[in-house]
Amino acid sequence: MTADNNRKFDQLELNSDVFAFQAVESHIDLKRMIGDAASKFHVPVLHHNIEPDDEEKGRTILMVKGKSTQGLDCILLKSGVFTISIPEFASKTDVMLCYALLREAKKQCEPMLIYQNDGNTIADLSDDAERETFFYRLDNMAKVIEQQDDHIGIEGVNHLFHIFPTYIKQQQPYAKPEAWTYKAYEDFASVEWDYEDYPSVDPAKIIDPSGEEYSARFVSNMKCFVGVCQKIVLCESDGVKITDAEDFFKATSGNTHIHRLDFAQFTLDPMSDEDWKQLMDRVPGDYLTHPKTYILRWNPTISSFKLEHYRKACAYHDGFSMNWSIYEWEKAKKGDRFYMERLGDDGRGIVFRGQFTSDPYLGEDWAGTSKKRYYVDIDCFDASPADGQPQITVEELKSILPEINWDKGHSGQLLTEGQAQKLEELWDSKMET
């Protein structure tokens, strides 16, 4: 899936139309022309003004609210010529608006000539010509569905519409080709107008460790319109999870809070926190969390990890690994950090630090009771000698973080960000000396 709007259908022969007439010399009141044409519709005709270029006096996109797919590109040239362009995938209503404008211009100046496309062909403004013009648009969409093999994006009045022929056919596997075409037009108009009250999620770029760049959307549990992207970043308070857009659609199929609009875009309606958490767990991908910091505690006089075990572990200069019980396990995740506090003897204080290499898991009590405990796998670094001074003494700990009981407590105490920062700064200062 690509994030850009590559016009991969350029190799197809698609029909577009440009109508032109001399508005100034023919004394056409363009404002009245547009107003009279708009009055024939039961919904508003909207204007989207565009900065004109050097040859243009004014330029606007006209669109019928709720009905237009691509609208009409209307330009008043400095030469006095007024042009109306009907794009390749304009809706039936877009075509109707164009012909209404041209007919109103002819009412103001009957002798005026209106040319179509090549500047030599006089435009036919009959009902039959109008119908044929829209049939050309249907034919354009049919060519894309029948002859295009890849996903493409089509520029709409409010959003891109992303179409993938295989996806369209999957939605109506037993339909005739013309049904696919009409369904594509129906979906196109829906994408443009049915989700105006859904705030759009801004595009972003993310870079993976290899240096490859991806387009992304950061999505949290709130009402939103999510446009095309390669990666979706799901966000919650404890972290984010990055997933491929295609994997996201597969994992959320049937979720009533997620409405897939086309091949590449969707809307999200808020769900409960529990449901959002379950969605994040269900979607494949990698969690990226701001690591939390825990105090693990070790008393060699009562622990199954004895002092002699620690002496042997310290012989590994690159660190060592084991598992450890954690009391406040609910928010703990792989990648979180810890400091190990030694208790119960003369070596009291922080003796090493490290990182969790697993999420918490349930296991038997290390003390041999029938009680169940949660454990994490840990990598341990920068260990102080088993018979020497700790890296940070208990007195120093009490000085910088007096609110924590450093004399006893559970193994696996979660620190606040402020507490973790103070401890990290003290640790770094010790390592520098």
Alpha-carbon span 280 to 233, nearest angstrom: 10
Domain boundaries, the chain: 17-126, 203-288, 293-432
CB atoms within 10 A of CB 252: 18
Query: What are the counts of helices (DSSP H) followed by strands (DSSP E) for the chain?
Result: 10, 24
CB–CB of 384/433 below 8 Å?
no
Say which residue, 366 or 216, is predicted with more confidence. 216
Alpha-carbon span 318 to 307, nearest angstrom: 19
Closest residue by Cα to residue 289 from 280, 298, 297? 280
CB-based contacts of 190, cutoff 8 Å, min separation 6: 261
What is each CA distance from 95 to 127, 130, 144, in whole angstroms? 11, 7, 20
Residue 283 predicted with pLDDT over 70: yes
CB-based contacts of 55, cutoff 8 Å, min separation 6: 77, 78, 79
| Maximum mean pLDDT: which of 71-75, 160-164, 344-348 | 71-75
The dihedrals phi and psi of 29, each to the nearest 5 degrees, come to -85, 95
What is the assigned CATH class of domain 293-432? alpha beta
Query: In this predicted structure, what is the pLDDT of residue 373?
Result: 87
Residue 3 predicted with pLDDT over 50: no
CB–CB of 152/160 below 8 Å?
no
The dihedrals phi and psi of 190, each to the nearest 5 degrees, come to -65, -45
Query: In this predicted structure, what is the pLDDT of residue 291?
Result: 83
The burial of 84, by beta-carbon neighbours within 10 Å (0-12 exposed, 13-18 middle, 19 or more buried), is given as buried
Give the three-state DSSP class for 95. helix
Q: At what angle do helices 30-38 and 92-108 cross, to 10 degrees?
A: 130
In DSSP terms, 392 is beta-bridged to 350
Alpha-carbon span 86 to 385, nearest angstrom: 79
Residue 310 predicted with pLDDT over 70: yes
Instruction: Tell me if 17-126 shares its fold with 293-432.
Output: no
Say which residue, 13 or 326, is predicted with more confidence. 326
Please give the share of the chain, as a percent, with pLDDT higher than 90. Answer: 71
Q: At what angle do helices 177-193 and 127-147 cross, to 10 degrees?
A: 100
Query: In this predicted structure, what is the pLDDT of residue 207?
Result: 83
Q: Return the half-sphere exposure (C-beta side, CA atoms, 13 A cut-off) of residue 351.
A: 24
Residue whose tokens read 């039936």: 92
The burial of 305, by beta-carbon neighbours within 10 Å (0-12 exposed, 13-18 middle, 19 or more buried), is given as middle
Residue 432 predicted with pLDDT over 80: no
Confidence of residue 209 (pLDDT cuts 50, 70, 90): low
CB–CB of 413/327 below 8 Å?
yes
CB-based contacts of 112, cutoff 8 Å, min separation 6: 21, 22, 26, 28, 105, 106
Name the pairing type of β-strands 293-298 and 337-342. Answer: parallel
Query: In this predicted structure, what is the pLDDT of residue 6?
Result: 39
- Average pLDDT, whole number, for the chain? 90
22-31: pLDDT as tens digits: 999 999 999 9
Span 379-385, average pLDDT:
92
Residue whose tokens read 């890296």: 391
141-177: pLDDT as tens digits: 999 988 887 888 899 999 999 988 888 888 888 888 8
Question: Model pTM?
Answer: 0.66
For the domain covering 17-126, report its CATH number.
3.30.160.110
Alpha-carbon span 101 to 243, nearest angstrom: 48
